[in-house]
Amino acid sequence: MKSQEKLHGRIEASFNKQPFLTLIGAELDHVENGKVIISCKHKETLTQQQGWLHDGVVTSLADVSCGYAALTTMPVDSEVLTVEFKINLIRPANTNKIIATGQVIKSGKMLVISESTVTDESGETVIAKMLATMIVSHIKR
C-alpha cells in the first residue's frame, strides 16, 4: 500500500512538470507497477475539423501512458524517453473523455516495451492501440 502511494507520488511529480500535459488537461488516474491510466476530457480547443478529439491528443495520451507505465518498472533515479511508437487510430475520438491505459510488456535494463489502449469514456470502445519502445536514461541534474 505504502509503496503503491510512493510510486503514484513519483509518477505524479514527473507528470506535473510537463506543461503540455497541463495544456491539454491530461489527468493521472491510476498508477501501479507496470500500469498507468491517464485521461483527458473533450474541449473544443483539442478538436479537429469534425469536432472530435484530435489524433495528436489521442496519441499524446497513449504515448505518455506507455512512458509512465515503463517508468514504474525502472530504478528511482531514472527517466524515460520514447524511442518510437506505432499507433492504430481505430475509431474517431467522438467522446466526452478518452482514457489511455499503458502497460509494460517487457522491462529490460535499457529498453522497455509498452502498449496502450485508448478507449472512450465507457472504457469499452477502443479508439486507438499503441505499441511502443522506451529507453531508460539516468537523471543527471
Residues 30-59 that bind a second copy (CB under 8 A): 44-49, 54-57, 59
77 binds a second copy (CB under 8 A): no
One character per residue 99-138, x = contact with a second copy (rule: CB under 8 A)? ------xx---xx-x-x----------x--xxx-x-x---
Closer CB to a second copy, residue 1 or residue 139?
139
75 binds a second copy (CB under 8 A): no
- Using the rule CB under 8 A, give the single segment among 2-10, 30-38, 86-94, 95-103 that binds a second copy: 86-94
CB of 2 to a second copy, least distance (A): 25
Separation of alpha carbons 126 and 104, rounded Å: 18
Rounded to the nearest 10°, the torsion over CA 72, 75, 81, 86 is -40
Query: Cα–Cα distances in Å, from 30 out to 9, 91, 108?
Result: 11, 24, 23
The binder of a second copy chosen from 7, 8, 10, 14 (CB under 8 A): 14
User: What string of DSSP letters covers 57-116?
Assistant: HHHHHHHHHHHHHHHTTS-TTEEEEEEEEEEEE-S---SSEEEEEEEEEEE-SSEEEEEE
10 binds a second copy (CB under 8 A): no
Burial of 23: CB neighbours in 10 Å, binned 0-12, 13-18, 19+: exposed
Chain positions contacting a second copy, by CB under 8 A: 14, 17-24, 44-49, 54-57, 59-60, 63-64, 79, 81-92, 105-106, 110-111, 113, 115, 126, 129-131, 133, 135
